[in-house]
A and B are shown apart, each in its own frame.
Chain A
């Protein structure tokens, strides 16, 4: 033990040692935790989570770093305290039984106490020292030490003793948290910040537009770099999570891998055959244009690839989405059953934007999805201003890209005039932007989809008609007729008309063919009869000719006979 301490001291000279808090995200913004062996002040107004914060510091210390802790409670009794944090999954009783945690309740009742003459707080020191030594504590919480001021009147002594107390804690080598209630002008009512000067953290619970957000800020951290912003934090069933909201770097990894969108005809609009993995896709359109359907197809495709998808629904409940998507032949339930698809539904007004962001972060870190869908981001505007939503989305996209998670947002555009510059200003952040547009014509409304932008990819410049059928989604080439673009039934009509035309045309062609055939047959028949005529004429001619021949032969013969007769040849 002594040896260990000695080496720690030696290292102390070289580097600034920190005690990891184990609180989600806090170690990131403090770059490692609280200053080791020194007191840290946590201040804030009533109900901002100071006690919980410090208690989690102790519990995590035991659970994750095997560092026993002492909790000196000036406000709540040990049992009350244990009861209050059971909902967060902290079993203080068990930790106490294991001698990993010690909760000491210090009760000060002014009515019981009479002060006369000089005194000091050696009793407190002894109790503290005893508590620390009895379990070998490395972490100490004093919650809230200011209560001393309400019980004891001699402020001069108290202040001197407090100074001594912090020195005592340092000498003990414990990492301590002192909590303090916010004062009017000072950080704490009694000016504790005067004594604890190494690290001061301010917790804040602000209500804007009736929605509360918890925030945390490191006011001071002597000897260490730290994040200086206000960071929102969340208290839920897993305790506290702090979100480091802005990463300053733009050095995210990129992937050339392509993932498909779940709509084959949409993929065909990109020669690459889909979107880049880890990119962000925005689908925007007016009400009822099928944004959610596209988003769900995208999620469905991811699940079919065997990837995990987290679906944030800000508008519909998961059951509603699952039911509705059956109408376009998407069975989401089986993905949910397999654990590939997870819904995270919450009303935007449930809590502030920052809290949403924290909650989304948490959900993503827990589920570790490959694909994330946010449907729709525009609903968040109900709880924040435009610029706030934008800054939230910037950080969100940042976070997602860092983790190589492909994300699809849907956004509702309110006006029919497409604002090319901005859809909540996200357009500059997203990598691909699909725009769905209403095409109203001939008394009906149809959907036209086009790719507004696709970073690093060639893409079709054509507006495609986006059709939603009970077989799923598909894109159809819009019909470019002589009267311009035709969609919907106008397109169908035009196509039908063309088809009719073709049939008629074919029919006409056939008739002509038959006519030719008939004509040929006619002519052929004519030719045949002429031939016969010719043959009979020829025969006639031949007959005369033969008769002549015969006649001539007979004549010759007769003449011969006559000649013979005349010459007296009487032999005949």
Chain B
């Protein structure tokens, strides 16, 4: 498994915000990173001990582990521009 982008999405149950975030993420990735990414969804309600590792406070949080640097994007990812900048797909304007 050596994809270029390793993404983790932290959620807490299937809330509206979580579902929206996941859908948004999938859509952006398909558009821009097709075949180069892997998304791991972690439900903190099931695995609360994982929250500490990535310093998760807000839900939903998208963590870009690879490539470096580690970035976090919180919220339902409704703003595509910001997400793409956050993932270093598009340079900050």
Residues of B within 8 A of A122 (CB): 12, 44, 58-59
- B16 CB to nearest A CB, Å: 9
A121 interface residue (CB < 8 Å to B): yes
- Report Cα–Cα, A118/B74, bound state, in Å: 8
B2 interface residue (CB < 8 Å to A): no
Contact A116 B58, CB 8 Å, known A126-B12, A126-B45, A130-B51:
no
Binds B, one of A2-10, A100-108, A270-278, A470-478: A100-108
Q: Pick the contact of B58: A129, A130, A152 (CB < 8 A).
A: A152
Residues of B within 8 A of A104 (CB): 52
Contact A113 B48, CB 8 Å, known A118-B17, A121-B57:
no
A257 interface residue (CB < 8 Å to B): no
- B25 CB to nearest A CB, Å: 11
- A156 CB to nearest B CB, Å: 13
- B93 CB to nearest A CB, Å: 14
A184 interface residue (CB < 8 Å to B): no
A337 interface residue (CB < 8 Å to B): no
A119 interface residue (CB < 8 Å to B): yes
Residues of A within 8 A of B49 (CB): 130
- Report Cα–Cα, A114/B77, bound state, in Å: 10
Residue contact A126 to B82, C-beta cutoff 8 Å: no
Residues of B within 8 A of A107 (CB): 55
Residue contact A126 to B55, C-beta cutoff 8 Å: no
- Report Cα–Cα, A114/B44, bound state, in Å: 20
Residues of B within 8 A of A119 (CB): 17, 58-61, 74-76
Chain B, residues 44-84, CB within 8 Å of chain A (1/0): the string is 11001101100111111100000001111111111100110
- A258 CB to nearest B CB, Å: 67
Residue contact A126 to B79, C-beta cutoff 8 Å: no
Q: How large is the interface on B (under 10, 10 to 19, 20 to 34, 35 or more residues)?
A: 20 to 34
* B78 to chain A: closest residue by CB: A117
- Report Cα–Cα, A104/B55, bound state, in Å: 10
Residue contact A114 to B82, C-beta cutoff 8 Å: yes
A304 interface residue (CB < 8 Å to B): no
Chain A, residues 206-223, CB within 8 Å of chain B (1/0): the string is 000000000000000000
A251 interface residue (CB < 8 Å to B): no
Residues of A within 8 A of B17 (CB): 117-120
- Report Cα–Cα, A483/B15, bound state, in Å: 106
Name the prevailing secondary structure of the A interface residues.
Answer: mixed
Residues of A within 8 A of B59 (CB): 119-123, 126
Contact A114 B10, CB 8 Å, known A120-B17, A122-B44, A129-B48:
no
Residue contact B76 to A127, C-beta cutoff 8 Å: no
Contact A123 B10, CB 8 Å, known A107-B55, A108-B55, A117-B77:
yes
Residues of A within 8 A of B69 (CB): 112
- B75 CB to nearest A CB, Å: 4
Chain A, residues 124-137, CB within 8 Å of chain B (1/0): the string is 10110110000000
B85 interface residue (CB < 8 Å to A): yes
A115 interface residue (CB < 8 Å to B): yes
Residue contact B72 to A112, C-beta cutoff 8 Å: yes
A457 interface residue (CB < 8 Å to B): no
Residues of A within 8 A of B74 (CB): 113-116, 119, 152
| Chain B CB within 10 A, most for which of A115, A117, A121 | A117
* A161 to chain B: closest residue by CB: B58
* B79 to chain A: closest residue by CB: A116
- Report Cα–Cα, A293/B58, bound state, in Å: 70
Residues of A within 8 A of B76 (CB): 116-119
B interface residues (Cβ-Cβ under 8 A, vs A): 10, 12, 17, 20-21, 44-45, 48-49, 51-52, 55-61, 69-79, 82-83, 85-86
Top 8 A-B pairs, shortest CB-CB distance: A117-B78, A130-B48, A117-B75, A117-B76, A122-B59, A114-B86, A123-B56, A116-B79
Subset of 20 A-B contacts with CB under 8 Å: A112-B71, A113-B72, A115-B73, A116-B76, A116-B77, A116-B82, A118-B17, A118-B78, A119-B17, A119-B58, A119-B61, A121-B57, A121-B59, A123-B56, A123-B59, A124-B58, A126-B51, A129-B48, A130-B49, A151-B57
